[in-house]
Structure 1
Amino acid sequence: MPLAVEATTLYLRATKASRLKSEQQRLRQQFAVAADFAEEVKSMLGSPTAAPKSHSSTASSVKDSGILSELRFSTKEQAVLLRSSKVNGIAFPPWSSADTDHAECDGLFTDPAGFLSLSSSQTQLFSAWKRPAEIWGSEFTLLGNGGSELIQDVLSDCSVIASLCSAIAWEERSKKSLVSNIIYPQSVSTSGRYVVKLFFNGLFRKVVIDDYLPVSSSARHIHVISRSNEGLLWPALVEKAYLKVMGGYDFPGSNAGSDLFALTTWIPEHILLHNDYVDMPALWQRIMVSWSYRDLLLTVGTGKLSKEEELSFGLVSEHDYSILDLRVLDDGKRVVLIKNPWSYSHWSTIQGSFRDFQDKLPASPGCFWMEFSTTCIRFSSLYLNWNPELFKYRKQVHFEWNLRNGMADKSLYLCPQYALENPNSSATNVWVLLSRHIRMKNDAKTYIAVYTFNNPGTRVWMRKPTIIKTKFVDSQQTLVRLDLPPKTSYTIVAATQNGVSETNYFSLFTYCTLPINLLSVSDGFSHIDAVNGQWTELSAGGNVLSATFVCNPQFKLVVPKKTTLQLFVETSTATPVHAQIVWGGGRRVQSVRRRDIALDTGDYSIGCALSKQAEMMTAEYTVVVSLYEAGIMGDFGLRVMANEGCALSRLPDLSSGYNGDNF
């Protein structure tokens, strides 16, 4: 029985058994979430979705874009997706095909989750929550013209508005739906109830909203509007649904790439224009080709700008803009049409090169043309969202991960790891996207990255040497693009920095042009002995040349049968660390000579150290862990990996009065 179905049964039984009304209400809510999820799991466990089209024929239908193929969820994955249904205390069940038919309800609907929170600046201007008929009378419509002229006013969600503008521009170029069709019903709801289909926390999920909108006491606007059609309703409702997930209208914004992933499922790629070496001609060629096929959405973001820079450049600090068009002029200049969604900002075209063409190209209010080379200088981030239909084969896996910060960030052995296997006789291009699930609006920042190792199908312990790795980012997603040679397996590792010591949930998506396998890695050894300890004031003995080396923590290692063995040590300190197995008979040793060493981790290294694999004879050994400097206190973790069962136990410290035979 799938876990979600079992959970539904348990919640139903608990509801019937409970006598407290408050408890019954809570259990009914949990039952509803589990029931919706169970229905979704049933549909997922049916047939895989149809394979998407290749790049040569740009997608003619994007209605189901992003529904990833081969959906076969394990019990653990079902549990992750079920737990991830609750965000900011509100349940968002997986999307069901039935949700398109049941958006209406009897009477006027009011969201039981209540009104969304507002920022302090919004609260100062706030007058009341009103329904569309109270705001515009009969002069409003759900769908219609004006979507390309969206503007942001008293809002901090510039990334959301830039995302909507970019997606709407794609709709106008393609004459197809991408984002305007994610709201149901597709006409004005008589009950004021709408259901919006968003992709977050591993799945398409259902977001239910009412049609109340925050109204200002002045002429300013607290929700997105169209400059040419203020009564256009769907953008404000989609914005409201997304902000409900993100915690309210006081959402500080993320980045347009992540927002577009939630709105469209198009694959986000983030290029740091100032930190990365950018080959501008190659980048232009790459985006221009895909733009012409309508397989790419583009947005840009500024970094931290001073007031002087804002005035000089005519740009807003830490603000996202949408790119609506790309052109190559007769003289070879490469230019982009940029839209600023903020209604109260201005822009400047002070350079002479701008004046050469700005009057020759059309630009709506709020839009301006800029040379591509200047764009790469003035903006700090370029966000690319790629049509997932470019990839015929797609896989996904969902997992939980305790983001601990007790030990070194340099070790990877506790990080989620997967084997990426190419069984084909030709190489293939693979994109790997790591996506962090949303939990609470004020979650502590967690920096994530993806590491790729030529370590076929086995667990990686150290961060080097990598084939390719992404930079650590605090956004929800990070993408790595790689070429996987034929008949080859790489190890993919989800890595973190500055994580908090709690369980978080993630999804890993792969997009590929040939069928590949995404598998859990093996540890490489059938037995792992692990101990944790500390260097204290009395046991921080330092390296082997130190007079106090004997004080270091020592362990007895019993190898009952000849086996291949490997040694690993890590520490929370910033001091180089080392571990060694010596011929010590399982007793404390006072000193170590080179001939005494059976196996060690090589040179002292910062954070963690790993030995080579070696054949170990049947014997009792002594293991010593040490930092390079004496007197440095901190935690450590010691791991002994072997193909045969070994026994690892702590020897008494010298401070306990131990009197070993070796002394």
Structure 2
Amino acid sequence: MSSASKAFNEAEAVYARGAKSELSSDFSAAFRLYLAAADAFLHLSRSESLNPVFRARCKANAAKALERAEKIKKASEQPGATFEVDAVPIDWFAQEQQQYILRKSSVINSIRYPIWTDAVPMAGPNVLYTDPDGQPSVPQYAIFSADGSSRFLSWNRPVNAAPTLPPLPSPTFSTPSVVSEPNVDLAPADIEQHLINDCSVCAVLAVCVQHAKTFNSKLLSSIYPGRQPGRYDIKVLINGTHRRVTIDDALPFDSNGNPIGISTGAKNILWPALIEKAYMKLMGGYDFPGSNSAIDLHALSGWIPEFIDLHSTSFEKERTWTRLMRGFHNGHCVLTVGTDSKTTRRIKGLRLLPSHNYAVIDVRETAAERWMTLLDSRVPGRSSPLMSEYESHALDMRWDDLCATFEGVYASWDPRLFHRELSFHGMWKPRNAEDMEQSCVRHLRLLYTYTPSSSQTGCDTYPVSDNEVWVLLVRHRPDAPRTGEYITATVDAEDEWMDAGVSLGRLPSLAGGRAKAEAKIKGIYTTSTHVLVRTKVRISQVPHSQCGSSTPSFLSPSPARRPATPGSPTSSSLSQSSVSSVSGALTVLACYDGPYDDVCFTVSVFCGSGLSIKWDESAGVGGIGVKGHSMKVEGVFTTKNSGGNHSHPTYMLNPQWHLRIFEQEAIRRSVSPAAGASSSRASGTAQSPSGSHGDKAAVIVTARGPRDVPLNLTIVWSTGERVVELAQREVVATSGAYGYGYARAFANLPLGNYTVILSTFEPQVHFGAFTLKVESSRKFEFEPIPQEGAGMYARVTRGRWDMQSAAGSPIHNRYHLNPVYEVDIPSTAQFGARLHLTSGPQSASLNLSLFPAVEPLSINCPLASSGPYSDALAGVDIPKRTLRAGKYWLVPSTWVAGIQAEFKLVVYCSDSGCAVRKRTSE
């Protein structure tokens, strides 16, 4: 019995068990069995190696099983139903599901592109092949000239070229590929771009030709002669796997007999034009919407694409130059550069074209300068007035000038640099999901074990260190013209924020545990189909194996770890030779924002030689959360509550909630697969009460907002009050660096009270609606914390200490010279006030005191005060209190005299008639 027949019989047996369960009224079991049978039949129906009649039978049986399951589900939803059915979770890591995603993504622009290993239909070996899909469409600008006259002639094969065309030799390609033809002798300048606007593809061909000449490589050895004359099969990496693009050898020419696509000039070598045609067919036609060379080369050769934004705030010019130069000269990478849409600059008399790709054919460094040689493949028409400008296609540019002129560098890296590659194929389903926020984000948990590699040659010459991890997210293309789709990827170490010696922003905390480090940002959304994230696993840490677990668990508290000290085993100066195996996990978030449903994607992971990696299949891909209680709230960031990150004094204005976890029996002490893919790192705090793991609640807090708003979630140990300023010792969980449109924090929290803070990156810049979801394994309350002065009238005054009024504290005996503000309260009312700096030294210690408006000012008997002088980033405040009707004096001061700075004074009062004015000297 064949394997297919055996699988068919097993599926029928599962269906029969489902029918038996249905007859015995065990509808829940019947529902699960029918779905399992349908899945088995569908898997068989997708196998193209089987007989079409057999596949049709499998498909019919699958439909029958799904029909029975659907009837049971509808019956369970009727009023008064005595049974329930649970949706069977999808095993995304199952081989059948992975293959389903790849098969689903086979259709691009209404043409099916089979997986490369699928069987090739047989045809007559002597029949001239004509592509049944037709020829790729040609854009209007290539068909008609500017005056409206036609210039596109026809498609011509090498064997029947028109007499007016230049002689085109019939290609006699050898197996296995065209590129390996021994008579092929191309130079990068031989690749010529004509009418078709596919400069990125031309740049790819040019850099590949240069790489072949220098390193005797075969980057484009992906074109194979078919089994019929005039047929060619091109192997491309698209939509998660290698696929077959089949074309005939007809090429487009204009009415003058000139090619409108890529040519090789007088050498008349055809394989570049054939590769261009295959790629244009894949992209929807010669009216190519545009791409970048790294993405094109990823499809044509599998090399890893990296976009380096030359104008990003995180761009490191010197380090990038060193990495690119070494990679280029060792043959590990090829490079192109691209201009933006507004480029008009002229370099050495040559006008750069907007939105244009240039091949980099040389990278060199002299004693005085660093240079790149660029090549432009575009060849203008002979009647073009710009012809003189293009007599020389090569252009030498200094690295500094290139960084200032071009938008970005497109680098493509040899995947053989990496020890191992691991892939996952998944799907976003935002429109059909009950929780769109969850369905637009997929969480993957990557387990790793690091052992120092003895085979690596060293970081000075090898571009990939042995603890390096690259993660590539690729959105599948179902239809090239689709717009409005954005993706992003983030990668985090689960233990990044668990080390007590690492404060917010990875910088030492200030005195008192305050966190004023520089906040970080990540996860920028892009319309590109490819996003690359480069990271390294930490090696200067205590191995998890020494902590009692080889892989970190989100269901148990993390072991306490002390800050690294010089000479200690966890010191950052730890050499690789003294590091034993370290195990851990990385969280990979693949995010989508767009109007479409069932959008497929692939995540590929490449790791250095010291790492072994695998997916944590038990963690799933997220989208469920903690099993227990949940609550969802909505809000809007406005000018009043967009307070920015913790380095701003306005951080306290961000939305905050009081989270209270009750003491009760846990509903289910387990976390769903979503928890396993958390992007947070938390281990509790020194203030947390001790207790066993059973006394804690598994809590996930998830926030989602506009894709252009960077978000962060922080959970703080508190009594439920509004947090004015973060202290490192009070933070129990955080979502880490700010992520565009998404933040997620996870922690096992002891019972008690907490404050949850959702913040934007910049104050008064990022606005928009957001949703926040809390999931907990124990019962909880979640209530918004009112803003400071809520329900009261605010009076805002801006002032400054100048040379005369910077009198300092009372110890300087000039306290009465500080600015004095008169507060007039018409009736008994609630009163409060806050003072903070708006310019000057941010570390100045402040005080705000309230006195009776009685001459002379008596500094020894204030009615209220902000307390001891404090250099808190958010300033100082007089807590809310009740004041009788009358006049009062508010005195802001610094501890040190002579500090000239500007400040902001906010007075809150429940009486609308309250007035605040600066008291003038008499």
Give, in whole Å, the separation in 2 of the partners of 1:218 and 1:310.
33
Other-structure match for 2:157: 131
Find the aligned partners of 2:315 and 2:140 in 1 and give their Cα distance.
40
Distance verdict in 2 for CA 1:311–1:530, change over 3 Å? farther
Which amino acid counterpart does residue 605 of structure 2 have in structure 1? Answer: T
Equivalent residue number for residue 443 of structure 1: 482
Distance 2:488 2:613 in 1: 22
1:400 aligns with 2:400: no
Instruction: Provide, for residues 237-256 of structure 1, a one-character-per-residue CA deviation record: whole Å limited to 9, x for no partner.
Output: 11111111110000122000
> Aligned residue for 2:776?
642
Q: d(CA) in 2 for partners of 1:456 and 1:311?
A: 52
Q: Which residue of 2 aligns with 1:282?
A: 319
AA of the residue aligned to 1:286 = R
CA separation of 1:138 and 1:569: change in aligned 2, threshold 3 A: closer
Q: Is the 8 Å Cα contact of residues 407 and 571 (structure 1) preserved in structure 2?
A: no
Cα 1:444–1:572 change in 2 (3 A) is: same
1:552 aligned partner: none
**Conserved 8 A contact 1:567-1:579:** no
What letter matches 1:270 in structure 2?
Answer: F
Q: 2:105 aligns with which of 84, 91, 97?
A: 84
The CA distance in 1 between the partners of 2:204 and 2:323, in whole Å, is 21
Look up the match of 1:204: 242
- SS of aligned partner of 2:256: coil
- After superposition, residues 33-48 of structure 1 pair within 5 angstroms as none
Check 1:18–1:489 CA distance in 2 against 1; reply closer, same or farther (3 A cut).
Answer: closer
Q: CA deviation at 1:190?
A: 6.0
Q: Is the 8 A contact 1:419 1:518 kept in 2?
A: yes
Q: Please provide the CA RMSD for this pair.
A: 5.0
Q: Which residue of 2 aligns with 1:452?
A: 491
Task: Please state whether the residue corresponding to 2:612 is helix, strand or coil.
Answer: coil
Residues 484 and 346 of structure 1: CA distance in aligned 2, closer, same or farther (over 3 Å): farther
Indicate yes or no: 2:612 matched with 1:515. Answer: yes
Once the two structures are TM-superposed, the CA of residue 299 in structure 1 deviates from its matched residue by 0.7
Amino acid at match of 1:287: L
CA change 1:13–1:196 in 2 (3 A) is same
For 1:564, the equivalent position in structure 2 comes to 697
The alignment partner of 1:191 has SS state of: coil
Q: CA deviation at 1:642?
A: 3.4
Shift of 1:111: 1.0
CA 1:11 to 1:364, structure 2 compared with 1: closer, same or farther past 3 Å? farther
Structure 1 residue 496 displacement after superposition: 3.7
1:60-95 per-position Cα deviation (integer Å, ceiling 9, x unaligned) = xxxxxxxxxxxx962221111110111111111111
Matched letter for residue 256 of structure 1: S
Return the offset for 1:397. Answer: 1.0
Name the CA shift for 1:642/1:126 in 2 (closer, same or farther; >3 Å): same
- Structure 1 residue 476: deviation in Å? 1.8
In the alignment, what sits opposite 1:169?
210
Indicate yes or no: 2:524 matched with 1:471: yes
- Specify the alignment match of 1:301 in structure 2: 338
Judging changes above 3 Å, is the alpha-carbon distance between structure 1 residues 327 and 608 closer, same or farther for their aligned structure 2 residues? closer
The superposition leaves residues 266-290 of structure 1 with CA deviations (integer Å, 9 ceiling, x where unpaired) of: 1111101122444333322212222
> What is the CA-CA distance between 1:257 and the residue it aligns to?
0.5
Partner residue in 1 for 2:186: 146
How far residue 412 of structure 1 moved from its aligned partner, in angstroms, is 6.8
Aligned to 1:158: 199
CA distance in 2, matches of 1:532, 1:526: 13
Shift in Å at residue 303 of structure 1?
Answer: 0.9
1:363-399 C-alpha deviation (Å, 9 max, x unpaired): 9952222222222222111011111111121111111
How many residues align? The count is 535
Give me the whole-angstrom Cα distance separating, in 2, the residues matched to 1:413 and 1:97: 32
Structure 2 SS opposite 1:418: strand
**Aligned-partner residue type, residue 136 of structure 2:** L
CA deviation after TM superposition for structure 1 residue 129, in Å: 1.6
Tell which deviates more after alignment, 203-212 or 147-156.
147-156
Distance 1:18 1:615 in 2: 52
**Residue equivalent to 1:115:** 135
Q: Tell me the residue number matched to 1:215.
A: 253
TM-score (norm 2): 0.50
**Partner residue, 1:374:** 401
**Structure 2 CA distance for partners of 1:436 and 1:308, relative to 1, 3 Å:** same
In 2, Cα distance between equivalents of 1:315 and 1:107:
47
What per-residue deviation string (whole Å, max 9, x for no partner) do you get for residues 268-324 of structure 1? 111011224443333222122222221111111111225466996521101001111
What TM-score, normalized by structure 1, do the two folds share? 0.68
Asked if 1 retains the 8 angstrom alpha-carbon contact of 2:345 and 2:351, the reply is no
Amino acid paired to 1:96: T
Would the aligned equivalents of 1:437 and 1:476 in 2 still touch at CA under 8 Å? yes
Of residues 133-142 and 429-438 in structure 1, the stretch that sits farther from structure 2 once superposed is 133-142
With over 3 angstroms needed to count, the CA separation of the structure-2 counterparts of 1:349 and 1:437, relative to structure 1, is same
Quick one: distance in 2 between partners of 1:575 and 1:279?
22
CA distance in 2, matches of 1:260, 1:229: 24
Contact 1:452 1:491 survives alignment (8 Å): yes
CA offset at residue 346 of structure 1? 9.8
Q: Judging changes above 3 Å, is the alpha-carbon distance between structure 1 residues 452 and 405 closer, same or farther for their aligned structure 2 residues?
A: farther
Tell me, in whole angstroms, the C-alpha distance in 1 between the residues paired with 2:750 and 2:415. 48
Distance (whole Å) between structure 2 residues aligned to residue 168 and residue 364 of structure 1: 21
**TM-superposed deviation, 1:578:** 11
1:264 equivalent in alignment to 2:397: no
1:527 matched residue in structure 2: 627
Contact 2:333 2:412 in 1 (8 A): yes
Q: Identify the residue that residue 500 of structure 1 maps to in structure 2.
A: 595
Measure, in 1, the Cα distance between the counterparts of 2:432 and 2:411: 32
> Do the aligned residues in 2 keep the contact of 1:152 with 1:342 (CA within 8 Å)?
yes
Aligned partners of 1:172, 1:382: CA distance in 2, in Å?
22
Letter in 1 for 2:776: A
- 1:568 CA drift (Å): 3.7
The residue number in structure 2 matching 1:546 is: none
Compared with structure 1, are the counterparts of its residues 342 and 530 closer, same or farther at alpha carbon in structure 2 (3 Å cutoff)?
farther
SS where residue 490 of structure 2 aligns? strand
Amino acid at match of 2:393: G
What SS is found at the alignment partner of 1:294? coil
Cα distance in 2 between the residues matched to 1:403 and 1:346: 52
Partners in 2 of 1:425 and 1:318 — Cα distance?
Answer: 44
Distance, in Å, in 2 between the alignment partners of 1:593 and 1:482 is: 36
**TM-aligned CA distance change 1:390 to 1:468, over 3 Å:** farther
Matched letter for residue 449 of structure 2 = P
Cα deviation digits, residues 462-484 of structure 1 (max 9, x gap): xx989884533222211111111
Structure 1's 325 and 578: CA in aligned 2 closer, same or farther, altered over 3 A? Answer: closer
Matched residue type, 2:627:
H
Q: Does residue 419 in structure 1 map to residue 552 in structure 2?
A: no
Distance in 1 (alpha carbons) for counterparts of 2:714 and 2:536: 36
Q: Rg: which structure is higher?
A: 2
Higher relative contact order (CA 8 A, sep 6+): 1
Cα 1:238/1:309, change in 2 over 3 Å = same
On the 8 A contact 1:399/1:506 being kept in 2, the answer is yes
Per-residue deviation, 1:425: 4.1
Distance 1:302 1:525 in 2: 44
1:59 maps to what in 2? none
Q: Unaligned regions of 5+ residues in structure 2, if any?
A: 1-6, 8-39, 61-92, 145-150, 179-183, 453-465, 498-503, 506-518, 540-581, 642-660, 667-695, 723-731, 760-767, 782-922
CA spacing shift, 1:268–1:638, aligned 2, 3 Å: closer
Partner letter of residue 476 of structure 2? H
Contact 1:216–1:222 (CA under 8 A) maintained in structure 2: yes
